[in-house]
Chains A and B, each alone.
Chain A
Amino acid sequence: MSRFLRTVLALAWKDILLELRSRDMVVSVLLFGFLVILVFNFALKPTPRQVPQLAPAILWVSFVFAGTLMVERAFVREREQGGLEGLLLTPVSRDAIFLGKAFTSFLFMLMVEGVLLALLALLLNFSPFSVILLATLFLATLGFATVGTLFSAMAVQTRAREVMLPVLFFPIILPVLVGAVEVTSRALAGEGAAAAGRWLPLIGVFDALFLVICPWAFGAVMEE
Protein backbone atom coordinates (compact mmCIF):
# COMPACT_ATOMS: atom_id res chain seq x y z
CA MET A 1 0.00 0.00 0.00
CA SER A 2 1.44 3.36 -0.87
CA ARG A 3 2.51 5.72 1.86
CA PHE A 4 -0.16 8.22 0.86
CA LEU A 5 -2.95 5.71 1.20
CA ARG A 6 -1.62 4.50 4.52
CA THR A 7 -1.56 8.06 5.81
CA VAL A 8 -5.13 8.70 4.73
CA LEU A 9 -6.25 5.51 6.43
CA ALA A 10 -4.31 6.41 9.60
CA LEU A 11 -6.07 9.77 9.65
CA ALA A 12 -9.45 8.19 9.05
CA TRP A 13 -8.85 5.57 11.72
CA LYS A 14 -8.01 8.30 14.24
CA ASP A 15 -11.36 9.97 13.54
CA ILE A 16 -13.23 6.68 13.80
CA LEU A 17 -11.50 5.91 17.09
CA LEU A 18 -12.41 9.34 18.44
CA GLU A 19 -15.98 8.84 17.33
CA LEU A 20 -16.20 5.47 19.03
CA ARG A 21 -14.95 7.06 22.24
CA SER A 22 -17.03 10.19 22.30
CA ARG A 23 -19.93 9.23 20.03
CA ASP A 24 -20.70 12.89 19.52
CA MET A 25 -21.11 12.95 15.78
CA VAL A 26 -22.98 9.98 14.38
CA VAL A 27 -25.58 9.69 17.11
CA SER A 28 -26.44 13.37 17.33
CA VAL A 29 -26.58 13.82 13.57
CA LEU A 30 -28.74 10.72 13.29
CA LEU A 31 -31.14 12.12 15.82
CA PHE A 32 -31.25 15.44 14.02
CA GLY A 33 -31.93 13.71 10.69
CA PHE A 34 -34.76 11.77 12.25
CA LEU A 35 -36.27 14.94 13.64
CA VAL A 36 -36.18 16.49 10.18
CA ILE A 37 -38.03 13.47 8.81
CA LEU A 38 -40.62 13.74 11.57
CA VAL A 39 -41.14 17.43 10.93
CA PHE A 40 -41.71 16.75 7.24
CA ASN A 41 -44.13 13.97 8.00
CA PHE A 42 -46.20 16.21 10.20
CA ALA A 43 -46.09 19.10 7.79
CA LEU A 44 -46.87 17.13 4.64
CA LYS A 45 -49.10 14.36 6.02
CA PRO A 46 -48.31 12.04 3.12
CA THR A 47 -51.07 9.67 2.08
CA PRO A 48 -50.04 6.27 0.70
CA ARG A 49 -50.68 7.54 -2.81
CA GLN A 50 -48.39 10.51 -2.31
CA VAL A 51 -45.54 8.42 -0.92
CA PRO A 52 -43.71 7.75 -4.23
CA GLN A 53 -43.59 11.49 -4.85
CA LEU A 54 -42.84 12.72 -1.36
CA ALA A 55 -40.58 10.04 0.06
CA PRO A 56 -37.56 10.88 -2.15
CA ALA A 57 -37.92 14.56 -1.32
CA ILE A 58 -38.17 13.99 2.43
CA LEU A 59 -35.27 11.59 2.27
CA TRP A 60 -32.86 13.84 0.44
CA VAL A 61 -33.74 17.02 2.28
CA SER A 62 -33.03 15.29 5.56
CA PHE A 63 -29.77 13.92 4.09
CA VAL A 64 -28.67 17.40 3.03
CA PHE A 65 -29.38 18.90 6.44
CA ALA A 66 -27.84 16.00 8.32
CA GLY A 67 -24.84 16.02 6.00
CA THR A 68 -24.32 19.72 6.56
CA LEU A 69 -24.34 19.18 10.29
CA MET A 70 -21.93 16.28 9.94
CA VAL A 71 -19.22 18.14 8.04
CA GLU A 72 -19.62 21.13 10.28
CA ARG A 73 -19.04 19.05 13.41
CA ALA A 74 -16.07 17.35 11.80
CA PHE A 75 -14.17 20.59 11.75
CA VAL A 76 -15.53 22.26 14.83
CA ARG A 77 -14.21 19.42 16.92
CA GLU A 78 -10.82 19.46 15.21
CA ARG A 79 -10.56 23.15 15.73
CA GLU A 80 -11.55 23.01 19.38
CA GLN A 81 -9.01 20.39 20.24
CA GLY A 82 -6.30 21.96 18.13
CA GLY A 83 -5.95 18.74 16.22
CA LEU A 84 -6.01 20.30 12.79
CA GLU A 85 -3.11 22.60 13.57
CA GLY A 86 -1.14 19.62 14.81
CA LEU A 87 -1.80 17.77 11.58
CA LEU A 88 -0.69 20.73 9.53
CA LEU A 89 2.64 20.77 11.35
CA THR A 90 3.48 17.25 10.18
CA PRO A 91 5.07 16.51 6.80
CA VAL A 92 1.78 14.96 5.70
CA SER A 93 0.46 16.50 2.47
CA ARG A 94 -2.63 18.67 2.67
CA ASP A 95 -4.31 16.41 0.12
CA ALA A 96 -3.99 13.48 2.50
CA ILE A 97 -5.41 15.47 5.40
CA PHE A 98 -8.33 16.53 3.24
CA LEU A 99 -9.02 13.03 1.96
CA GLY A 100 -8.80 11.58 5.45
CA LYS A 101 -11.39 14.02 6.73
CA ALA A 102 -13.66 13.71 3.70
CA PHE A 103 -13.48 9.93 3.87
CA THR A 104 -14.57 9.81 7.52
CA SER A 105 -17.40 12.26 6.88
CA PHE A 106 -18.43 10.12 3.92
CA LEU A 107 -18.47 6.94 6.04
CA PHE A 108 -20.38 8.52 8.90
CA MET A 109 -22.88 10.11 6.52
CA LEU A 110 -23.52 6.78 4.82
CA MET A 111 -24.20 5.19 8.19
CA VAL A 112 -26.64 7.91 9.17
CA GLU A 113 -28.34 7.83 5.77
CA GLY A 114 -28.70 4.05 5.92
CA VAL A 115 -30.51 4.25 9.23
CA LEU A 116 -32.68 7.19 8.13
CA LEU A 117 -33.63 5.35 4.93
CA ALA A 118 -34.68 2.31 6.93
CA LEU A 119 -36.69 4.45 9.34
CA LEU A 120 -38.48 6.33 6.57
CA ALA A 121 -39.23 3.07 4.74
CA LEU A 122 -40.84 1.82 7.95
CA LEU A 123 -42.81 5.01 8.52
CA LEU A 124 -44.11 5.33 4.97
CA ASN A 125 -44.35 1.68 4.06
CA PHE A 126 -42.14 1.40 1.04
CA SER A 127 -39.34 -0.96 0.16
CA PRO A 128 -35.88 0.63 0.13
CA PHE A 129 -34.17 -2.39 -1.37
CA SER A 130 -32.93 -1.16 -4.70
CA VAL A 131 -29.40 -1.38 -6.04
CA ILE A 132 -29.79 1.86 -7.94
CA LEU A 133 -30.98 3.59 -4.80
CA LEU A 134 -27.92 2.43 -2.92
CA ALA A 135 -25.66 3.48 -5.78
CA THR A 136 -27.28 6.92 -5.68
CA LEU A 137 -26.72 7.14 -1.94
CA PHE A 138 -23.09 6.29 -2.44
CA LEU A 139 -22.41 8.72 -5.28
CA ALA A 140 -24.41 11.63 -3.95
CA THR A 141 -22.94 11.31 -0.46
CA LEU A 142 -19.47 11.25 -1.96
CA GLY A 143 -20.22 14.59 -3.60
CA PHE A 144 -21.65 16.03 -0.38
CA ALA A 145 -18.69 14.86 1.68
CA THR A 146 -16.09 16.22 -0.76
CA VAL A 147 -17.56 19.67 -1.24
CA GLY A 148 -18.83 19.82 2.34
CA THR A 149 -15.41 19.10 3.82
CA LEU A 150 -13.82 21.91 1.81
CA PHE A 151 -16.46 24.46 2.66
CA SER A 152 -16.59 23.42 6.29
CA ALA A 153 -12.85 23.90 6.58
CA MET A 154 -13.41 27.40 5.25
CA ALA A 155 -16.57 28.24 7.14
CA VAL A 156 -15.20 27.15 10.51
CA GLN A 157 -12.67 29.97 10.32
CA THR A 158 -15.22 32.66 9.45
CA ARG A 159 -17.31 34.73 11.78
CA ALA A 160 -20.81 33.43 10.97
CA ARG A 161 -19.85 29.80 10.66
CA GLU A 162 -23.31 28.20 10.97
CA VAL A 163 -24.68 30.45 8.26
CA MET A 164 -21.64 30.48 6.03
CA LEU A 165 -21.53 26.72 5.51
CA PRO A 166 -25.08 26.31 4.09
CA VAL A 167 -24.74 29.51 2.05
CA LEU A 168 -21.67 28.07 0.35
CA PHE A 169 -22.73 24.45 0.29
CA PHE A 170 -26.37 24.39 -0.87
CA PRO A 171 -26.08 26.19 -4.23
CA ILE A 172 -23.09 24.11 -5.26
CA ILE A 173 -24.65 20.72 -4.49
CA LEU A 174 -28.05 21.54 -5.94
CA PRO A 175 -27.43 19.48 -9.10
CA VAL A 176 -26.59 16.46 -6.95
CA LEU A 177 -29.73 16.95 -4.91
CA VAL A 178 -31.94 17.31 -7.97
CA GLY A 179 -30.42 14.25 -9.59
CA ALA A 180 -30.58 12.14 -6.45
CA VAL A 181 -34.27 12.92 -5.93
CA GLU A 182 -35.08 12.04 -9.57
CA VAL A 183 -33.24 8.74 -9.51
CA THR A 184 -34.64 7.82 -6.10
CA SER A 185 -38.22 8.39 -7.16
CA ARG A 186 -37.71 6.31 -10.29
CA ALA A 187 -35.96 3.57 -8.37
CA LEU A 188 -38.75 3.42 -5.81
CA ALA A 189 -41.24 3.22 -8.67
CA GLY A 190 -39.46 0.04 -9.66
CA GLU A 191 -37.69 1.15 -12.81
CA GLY A 192 -34.56 -0.84 -12.10
CA ALA A 193 -31.35 0.10 -13.88
CA ALA A 194 -33.10 2.56 -16.17
CA ALA A 195 -33.76 4.78 -13.19
CA ALA A 196 -30.18 5.98 -13.32
CA GLY A 197 -30.80 7.78 -16.58
CA ARG A 198 -28.43 10.66 -17.26
CA TRP A 199 -28.45 11.64 -13.62
CA LEU A 200 -26.08 9.16 -12.06
CA PRO A 201 -23.40 9.86 -14.67
CA LEU A 202 -23.88 13.58 -13.98
CA ILE A 203 -23.39 13.04 -10.27
CA GLY A 204 -20.39 10.89 -11.14
CA VAL A 205 -18.89 13.74 -13.15
CA PHE A 206 -19.55 16.10 -10.26
CA ASP A 207 -17.76 13.75 -7.87
CA ALA A 208 -14.79 13.24 -10.16
CA LEU A 209 -14.34 16.97 -10.76
CA PHE A 210 -14.51 17.93 -7.13
CA LEU A 211 -12.39 15.07 -5.90
CA VAL A 212 -9.64 16.70 -7.92
CA ILE A 213 -10.37 20.35 -7.18
CA CYS A 214 -11.22 20.23 -3.49
CA PRO A 215 -7.99 18.69 -2.14
CA TRP A 216 -5.99 21.30 -4.05
CA ALA A 217 -8.18 24.14 -2.80
CA PHE A 218 -7.96 22.78 0.75
CA GLY A 219 -4.23 23.50 0.82
CA ALA A 220 -4.89 27.17 0.08
CA VAL A 221 -7.64 27.35 2.69
CA MET A 222 -5.48 25.85 5.43
CA GLU A 223 -2.47 28.13 5.36
CA GLU A 224 -2.59 31.66 6.70
Chain B
Amino acid sequence: MGYLRQQGLGQGLVALGGLLMLVNLYLVFLVAPTDAVLGDVQRVFYFHVPLAVLSFLAFFFVFIASLGFLARRTPAWDHLAHAAGEVGVVLVTLALLTGVIWARPVWGVWWTWEPRLTTTLILWLIYVAYLMVRAYAPNPARGAVYAAVVGVVGFVDVPIVYYSVQWWRSIHPSPVVGPLAEAGALEPVMLAILLFSLLTFLVLFLHLLLLRASLHRVEAWVKEQDPRGSPAPFPAN
Protein backbone atom coordinates (compact mmCIF):
# COMPACT_ATOMS: atom_id res chain seq x y z
CA MET B 1 0.00 0.00 0.00
CA GLY B 2 1.08 3.60 -0.38
CA TYR B 3 3.73 4.76 2.01
CA LEU B 4 1.75 7.65 3.50
CA ARG B 5 -1.33 5.54 3.97
CA GLN B 6 0.87 3.00 5.65
CA GLN B 7 2.15 5.70 8.02
CA GLY B 8 -1.38 6.66 8.94
CA LEU B 9 -2.40 3.10 9.51
CA GLY B 10 0.73 2.48 11.54
CA GLN B 11 0.04 5.36 13.85
CA GLY B 12 -3.52 4.23 14.26
CA LEU B 13 -2.35 0.79 15.26
CA VAL B 14 0.14 2.17 17.76
CA ALA B 15 -2.57 4.18 19.47
CA LEU B 16 -5.01 1.30 19.47
CA GLY B 17 -2.40 -1.19 20.57
CA GLY B 18 -1.19 1.01 23.39
CA LEU B 19 -4.70 1.50 24.67
CA LEU B 20 -5.53 -2.17 24.44
CA MET B 21 -2.36 -3.15 26.25
CA LEU B 22 -3.09 -0.82 29.14
CA VAL B 23 -6.53 -2.34 29.49
CA ASN B 24 -5.07 -5.81 29.08
CA LEU B 25 -2.50 -5.32 31.84
CA TYR B 26 -5.21 -4.06 34.12
CA LEU B 27 -7.38 -7.08 33.35
CA VAL B 28 -4.62 -9.62 33.72
CA PHE B 29 -3.16 -8.35 36.94
CA LEU B 30 -6.12 -6.84 38.71
CA VAL B 31 -9.29 -8.39 37.38
CA ALA B 32 -8.40 -11.99 36.60
CA PRO B 33 -9.11 -14.32 39.50
CA THR B 34 -6.14 -15.92 41.19
CA ASP B 35 -5.81 -19.53 40.26
CA ALA B 36 -6.67 -21.78 43.19
CA VAL B 37 -3.89 -24.26 42.54
CA LEU B 38 -1.05 -22.26 41.03
CA GLY B 39 -1.46 -18.81 42.49
CA ASP B 40 -0.39 -15.59 40.79
CA VAL B 41 2.22 -17.27 38.61
CA GLN B 42 -0.63 -18.56 36.51
CA ARG B 43 -1.06 -15.05 35.08
CA VAL B 44 1.94 -15.68 32.85
CA PHE B 45 -0.48 -17.89 30.93
CA TYR B 46 -2.30 -14.81 29.61
CA PHE B 47 0.90 -13.76 27.90
CA HIS B 48 2.37 -17.12 27.01
CA VAL B 49 -0.61 -18.38 25.02
CA PRO B 50 -1.08 -15.29 22.80
CA LEU B 51 2.67 -15.12 22.20
CA ALA B 52 2.79 -18.73 21.10
CA VAL B 53 -0.35 -18.50 18.96
CA LEU B 54 0.76 -15.31 17.25
CA SER B 55 4.24 -16.59 16.60
CA PHE B 56 2.59 -19.43 14.77
CA LEU B 57 0.50 -16.94 12.82
CA ALA B 58 3.68 -15.07 11.97
CA PHE B 59 5.26 -18.22 10.60
CA PHE B 60 2.16 -18.87 8.56
CA PHE B 61 2.62 -15.39 7.09
CA VAL B 62 6.24 -16.30 6.34
CA PHE B 63 5.03 -19.40 4.52
CA ILE B 64 2.45 -17.58 2.39
CA ALA B 65 4.74 -14.63 1.65
CA SER B 66 7.60 -16.99 0.77
CA LEU B 67 5.39 -18.84 -1.69
CA GLY B 68 4.27 -15.52 -3.12
CA PHE B 69 7.84 -14.36 -3.50
CA LEU B 70 9.01 -17.55 -5.17
CA ALA B 71 6.09 -17.37 -7.58
CA ARG B 72 6.14 -13.65 -8.39
CA ARG B 73 9.54 -12.37 -7.24
CA THR B 74 8.15 -8.97 -6.31
CA PRO B 75 10.10 -7.33 -3.46
CA ALA B 76 6.92 -6.61 -1.50
CA TRP B 77 6.45 -10.31 -0.78
CA ASP B 78 10.02 -10.55 0.39
CA HIS B 79 9.69 -7.56 2.72
CA LEU B 80 6.55 -9.06 4.22
CA ALA B 81 8.16 -12.46 4.69
CA HIS B 82 11.25 -10.95 6.25
CA ALA B 83 9.21 -8.81 8.63
CA ALA B 84 6.99 -11.74 9.60
CA GLY B 85 10.08 -13.86 10.23
CA GLU B 86 11.63 -11.24 12.50
CA VAL B 87 8.48 -10.58 14.48
CA GLY B 88 7.85 -14.32 14.66
CA VAL B 89 11.28 -15.01 16.12
CA VAL B 90 10.78 -12.31 18.75
CA LEU B 91 7.37 -13.72 19.65
CA VAL B 92 8.53 -17.31 19.83
CA THR B 93 11.52 -16.30 21.95
CA LEU B 94 9.17 -14.59 24.36
CA ALA B 95 6.87 -17.61 24.28
CA LEU B 96 9.79 -19.82 25.28
CA LEU B 97 10.86 -17.42 28.02
CA THR B 98 7.36 -17.16 29.46
CA GLY B 99 7.19 -20.95 29.31
CA VAL B 100 10.35 -21.13 31.37
CA ILE B 101 9.10 -18.48 33.79
CA TRP B 102 6.06 -20.64 34.31
CA ALA B 103 7.95 -23.90 34.61
CA ARG B 104 10.31 -22.91 37.40
CA PRO B 105 7.87 -21.98 40.16
CA VAL B 106 5.19 -24.43 39.10
CA TRP B 107 7.20 -27.57 38.39
CA GLY B 108 10.48 -26.76 40.04
CA VAL B 109 12.39 -27.28 36.79
CA TRP B 110 13.65 -24.74 34.27
CA TRP B 111 12.82 -26.88 31.30
CA THR B 112 10.82 -29.96 30.45
CA TRP B 113 10.55 -31.89 27.22
CA GLU B 114 6.82 -31.44 27.18
CA PRO B 115 5.42 -31.64 23.62
CA ARG B 116 4.40 -28.04 23.12
CA LEU B 117 7.50 -26.53 24.65
CA THR B 118 9.67 -28.85 22.60
CA THR B 119 7.87 -28.04 19.37
CA THR B 120 8.18 -24.35 20.21
CA LEU B 121 11.92 -24.78 20.64
CA ILE B 122 12.27 -26.46 17.27
CA LEU B 123 10.20 -23.73 15.68
CA TRP B 124 12.58 -21.25 17.21
CA LEU B 125 15.53 -23.09 15.64
CA ILE B 126 13.93 -23.24 12.21
CA TYR B 127 13.11 -19.56 12.08
CA VAL B 128 16.42 -18.44 13.50
CA ALA B 129 17.92 -20.42 10.61
CA TYR B 130 15.53 -18.50 8.34
CA LEU B 131 17.04 -15.20 9.48
CA MET B 132 20.59 -16.56 9.45
CA VAL B 133 20.44 -17.70 5.87
CA ARG B 134 19.59 -14.16 4.83
CA ALA B 135 22.53 -12.80 6.74
CA TYR B 136 25.03 -15.29 5.33
CA ALA B 137 23.88 -15.34 1.73
CA PRO B 138 26.31 -13.95 -0.86
CA ASN B 139 24.03 -10.99 -1.61
CA PRO B 140 20.57 -9.75 -0.54
CA ALA B 141 18.88 -10.93 -3.71
CA ARG B 142 20.06 -14.51 -3.13
CA GLY B 143 19.30 -14.19 0.57
CA ALA B 144 15.68 -13.46 -0.26
CA VAL B 145 15.40 -16.59 -2.39
CA TYR B 146 17.13 -18.87 0.10
CA ALA B 147 15.05 -17.53 2.96
CA ALA B 148 11.87 -18.10 0.97
CA VAL B 149 12.86 -21.73 0.43
CA VAL B 150 13.52 -22.16 4.15
CA GLY B 151 10.21 -20.45 4.88
CA VAL B 152 8.33 -22.96 2.77
CA VAL B 153 10.26 -26.08 3.81
CA GLY B 154 10.21 -25.10 7.48
CA PHE B 155 6.49 -24.54 7.62
CA VAL B 156 5.67 -27.78 5.81
CA ASP B 157 7.78 -29.55 8.40
CA VAL B 158 5.97 -28.04 11.39
CA PRO B 159 3.02 -30.47 11.54
CA ILE B 160 5.40 -33.40 11.18
CA VAL B 161 7.55 -32.07 14.00
CA TYR B 162 4.47 -31.54 16.15
CA TYR B 163 3.19 -35.09 15.76
CA SER B 164 6.55 -36.72 16.17
CA VAL B 165 7.22 -34.82 19.38
CA GLN B 166 3.74 -35.68 20.70
CA TRP B 167 4.19 -39.37 20.05
CA TRP B 168 7.73 -39.31 21.40
CA ARG B 169 6.60 -37.69 24.61
CA SER B 170 3.71 -40.07 25.08
CA ILE B 171 6.25 -42.89 25.07
CA HIS B 172 8.68 -41.09 27.35
CA PRO B 173 6.51 -38.90 29.54
CA SER B 174 8.28 -36.15 31.42
CA PRO B 175 8.25 -36.39 35.18
CA VAL B 176 5.73 -33.62 35.45
CA VAL B 177 2.44 -33.36 33.64
CA GLY B 178 1.84 -29.87 32.39
CA PRO B 179 -1.24 -27.81 32.98
CA LEU B 180 -0.05 -25.95 29.89
CA ALA B 181 -1.52 -28.80 27.90
CA GLU B 182 -4.91 -28.55 29.48
CA ALA B 183 -7.49 -26.30 27.99
CA GLY B 184 -10.33 -27.56 30.08
CA ALA B 185 -10.13 -25.95 33.48
CA LEU B 186 -10.79 -22.35 32.46
CA GLU B 187 -13.42 -20.26 34.13
CA PRO B 188 -15.42 -18.07 31.72
CA VAL B 189 -13.76 -14.94 33.12
CA MET B 190 -10.32 -16.32 32.48
CA LEU B 191 -11.26 -17.34 28.98
CA ALA B 192 -12.61 -13.87 28.26
CA ILE B 193 -9.44 -12.21 29.49
CA LEU B 194 -7.34 -14.65 27.52
CA LEU B 195 -9.21 -13.74 24.36
CA PHE B 196 -8.80 -10.06 25.07
CA SER B 197 -5.09 -10.57 25.59
CA LEU B 198 -4.98 -12.42 22.30
CA LEU B 199 -6.62 -9.47 20.57
CA THR B 200 -4.19 -7.04 22.17
CA PHE B 201 -1.21 -9.01 21.03
CA LEU B 202 -2.72 -9.37 17.58
CA VAL B 203 -2.84 -5.61 17.21
CA LEU B 204 0.73 -5.39 18.48
CA PHE B 205 1.76 -8.07 16.01
CA LEU B 206 0.17 -6.30 13.06
CA HIS B 207 1.77 -3.02 14.04
CA LEU B 208 5.24 -4.52 14.31
CA LEU B 209 4.75 -6.42 11.07
CA LEU B 210 3.80 -3.33 9.09
CA LEU B 211 6.59 -1.34 10.70
CA ARG B 212 9.30 -3.88 9.88
CA ALA B 213 7.99 -4.46 6.36
CA SER B 214 8.02 -0.77 5.53
CA LEU B 215 11.48 -0.44 7.06
CA HIS B 216 12.74 -3.19 4.78
CA ARG B 217 11.19 -1.42 1.87
CA VAL B 218 13.02 1.80 2.71
CA GLU B 219 16.27 -0.07 3.29
CA ALA B 220 16.01 -1.77 -0.09
CA TRP B 221 15.33 1.56 -1.77
CA VAL B 222 18.36 3.13 -0.09
CA LYS B 223 20.65 0.27 -1.13
CA GLU B 224 19.46 0.54 -4.70
CA GLN B 225 20.50 4.14 -5.06
CA ASP B 226 23.49 4.87 -7.22
CA PRO B 227 26.09 6.51 -4.95
CA ARG B 228 27.27 8.70 -7.80
CA GLY B 229 24.01 9.91 -9.27
CA SER B 230 21.10 11.78 -7.74
CA PRO B 231 18.60 9.71 -5.75
CA ALA B 232 15.41 8.59 -7.41
CA PRO B 233 12.22 9.80 -5.71
CA PHE B 234 10.95 7.44 -3.06
CA PRO B 235 7.99 5.61 -4.54
CA ALA B 236 4.93 7.33 -3.17
CA ASN B 237 2.78 4.38 -3.98
Contacts and interface: CB of A to CB of B under 8 A. Distances in A.
Contacts of B133: 154, 158, 164, 168
Contact of A199 (B138, B152, B165, B167): B167
Interface in B143-195: 145-146, 148-150, 152-154, 156-157, 160-161, 163-165, 167-168, 171
B122 interface: yes
Nearest to A166: B129
Nearest to A205: B160
B53 to A, nearest CB: 21
B138 A159 contact: yes
Contact of B154 (A158, A172, A175, A221): A172
A184 B132 CA distance: 34
Contacts of B168: 178, 182
Interface in A156-201: 157-160, 164, 167-168, 170-172, 174-175, 178-179, 182, 198-199
A220 B164 contact: no
Contacts of A154: 133, 146, 149
A175 B160 contact: yes
A170 B122 CA distance: 10
A187 B136 CA distance: 42
A213 B138 contact: no
B173 to A, nearest CB: 14
B153 A221 contact: no
A202 B136 contact: no
Interface in A128-162: 147, 150, 154, 157-160
A210 B142 CA distance: 22
Nearest to B69: A220
Contacts of B164: 174-175, 178-179, 199, 202
B132 A164 contact: yes
A159 B150 CA distance: 17
Given A179-B164, A213-B152, A167 B132 contact: yes
A213 B66 CA distance: 13
A175 B137 CA distance: 27
A157 to B, nearest CB: 6
Q: Which of B141, B142, B165 has the most CB of A within 10 A?
A: B142
A224 interface: yes
Q: Which of B142, B145, B164 has the most CB of A within 10 A?
A: B164
Contacts of A172: 126, 153-154, 157
B125 interface: yes
B21 interface: no
Given A147-B153, A160-B136, A206-B160, A198 B126 contact: no
A209 interface: yes
A217 interface: yes
B138 A157 contact: yes
Contacts of B165: 175, 178
A220 B149 contact: yes
A67 to B, nearest CB: 17
Contact of A171 (B70, B126, B137, B149): B126
Q: Which of A174, A206, A214 has the most CB of B within 10 A?
A: A174
Contacts of A206: 157, 160
B137 A157 contact: yes
Nearest to A219: B70
Given A150-B153, A160-B136, 18 more contacts: A147-B153, A159-B138, A164-B136, A167-B129, A170-B125, A171-B126, A171-B129, A172-B126, A175-B157, A175-B163, A198-B167, A199-B167, A209-B156, A209-B160, A213-B153, A213-B156, A217-B70, A224-B142
24 contacts: A158-B133, A159-B137, A164-B132, A164-B133, A170-B125, A171-B122, A171-B161, A172-B126, A174-B161, A174-B164, A178-B164, A178-B165, A182-B171, A198-B167, A199-B164, A206-B157, A214-B153, A217-B149, A217-B152, A217-B153, A220-B148, A220-B149, A221-B146, A221-B149
